[in-house]
Every structure is written in C-alpha cells, then in structure tokens.
Amino acid sequence: MDKLGARLREARARHGWTLETLSAQCGLSTGFLSQVERGLSTLSIVSLSAICHALDLPIGDLFSTSGPLDQVAPQVTKRPDQIQIQIGDSPIAYRYLSSQLPESRIEELLIAEFPPKFHQVASTHKGQELGYVLEGFLTLLVGEAMHELAAGDSYTVAASESHGYRTPAKRGAMVLMAVTERFIELPKKGV
C-alpha cells in the first residue's frame, strides 16, 4: 500500500491540490485520503476508482511499468510490498503480484517444479515472465543480479534479458509462472 499511496500523492501534487481539494473532488474524507497516501489504510476498488476519476488518472497507470514489453527492468516484489485491494465490503482480497504487464497477453500459465540443487544456465526467450513462489526457495539470476526468493515472493522479468534459476541443495521450489510468449511446445494429443 505504501507504493500505491505514494503514487496517489504524486498525482495529487502534479495537480497542485491539497488533500482538502481532492476530498471535495472525490467525496472521501481528508483523514482517509491522508491514511491512504501514507499506506496506513486499506483501499477498496470503489474508493480507488473515485480518487483516480477525480485526478483524471487511469487506474492502470498506478500499476503499470513503463517502456516496451521487451525492455521492462526486472522487478522483484516481496510479499509485504504486494499491493492488496478489496472491493467494497467483499471478504475477497486481491493481491497484485507485480505491476501490470504492459501490452501483454498471457500465453502460458504453468507451475514449474524445481528440484533441490538445481541450476539452470541463464537463457533468453521472447516476451515477459511473471513468477510467484508457491513453495521452497529460489534464486533468480538476471544478468549479474541475484534475487533470493521465498514462498509468497514474486518477480517479473523481460524474458529477452538473460535469466536463470538456482535452488538450495536441500530443498527445491514450486513456482507459478505466467509468460506472454509461448516458450514450451506442448505435445500433440494422441501422438
């Protein structure tokens, strides 16, 4: 919520508005808006929509990365930093694992099961890749950078950038992956 609040504060500042001005425009109290901007309050999609409408800000701009699909910088999102949104009084909470994938369409959604003591040599493919660690520990290698991930952490990487994976000797990892370009050819049925 901290990042979302900071982005909303930046958008308000670009308009040159005070919290009182935004409150008058969106119908939410200045106290609530202040808590949202400081990351202290949960924000429903209805409230977020009202704020964005007042600021003439598309909601997607708050979550999107900039740049072409194949030039997006790698992004690792630790579980506490993932944005959570609830719609009205619904008990369902939506947790954004990453920023929106710009101009994307998910081509494959799969679970990758990495065995213990695994090391994949860095490689590239087309599109963008999102991963969410379901179980275990995974080291994501992107270029020269190493990112240590545990269950609940997520990442986004431009697949055209050299990337690989490593797991510790005693435990593998299970990762939910979504990719925007198919990189695995599925066997044909009946063959």
CB 75 within 8 A of CB 102: no
pLDDT of residue 157: 87
- Tell the CATH topology of 70-179: Jelly Rolls (2.60.120)
User: What is the full per-residue pLDDT of the chain (191 aa) written as tens digits?
Assistant: 557 888 889 889 989 999 999 999 999 999 999 998 888 887 777 788 889 889 988 776 676 544 433 444 566 767 777 666 666 665 656 566 655 444 456 666 778 888 899 888 888 877 888 889 999 999 999 988 999 999 999 998 888 888 989 999 999 899 888 877 765 554 555 54
pLDDT of residue 135: 94
CB 139 within 8 A of CB 172: no
| Rg from Cα positions in the chain | 19
Spell 157-167 as b/e; 16+ CB within 10 A means b: bbbbbebebbb
Domain ranges of the chain: 2-63, 70-179
Question: Would you say the CATH fold of 70-179 matches that of 2-63?
Answer: no
pLDDT of residue 41: 81
Tokens of 144: 């020269």
Distance, in Å, from the CA atom of 8 to the CA atom of 87, rounded to the nearest integer, reads 18
Q: Closest by alpha carbon to 63, among 52, 78, 50, 47?
A: 52
pLDDT of residue 108: 66
Strands (E), 15-171: 43-44, 75-77, 84-86, 93-95, 108-114, 128-142, 145-150, 154-158, 163-166
End-to-end CA distance of the chain: 49
Tokens of 72: 């997006």
pLDDT of residue 66: 45
Distance, in Å, from the CA atom of 159 to the CA atom of 127, rounded to the nearest integer, reads 5
CB 19 within 8 A of CB 33: yes
What residues does 141 pair with on adjacent strands?
146, 164
Tokens of 170: 């005693």
Looking at domain 2-63, its CATH superfamily turns out to be lambda repressor-like DNA-binding domains (1.10.260.40)
